[in-house]
Amino acid sequence: MYTHQIDVWVVFSANCILFVISILSLALHIQAAHKKTPMASVSNVMMVTLMKLLVLGGAAILYLVLAGPNRSVYAVFVGMVLYLMYTFLEVYIAAKINGNNK
Integer Cα distance of 85 and 78 in angstroms: 11
Q: What is the tens place of the pLDDT at every residue in 39-92?
A: 777 788 788 888 888 998 899 899 989 988 888 889 989 999 998 999 899 888
Q: What is the tens place of the pLDDT at every residue in 1-48?
A: 456 788 899 999 999 999 999 898 888 888 877 777 777 777 887 888
Which secondary-structure segment (H or E) carries 9?
A: helix 8-33
Q: Please say whether the beta carbons of 73 and 6 come within 8 A.
A: no
Angle at 97 between CA 32 and CA 89, to 5 degrees: 105
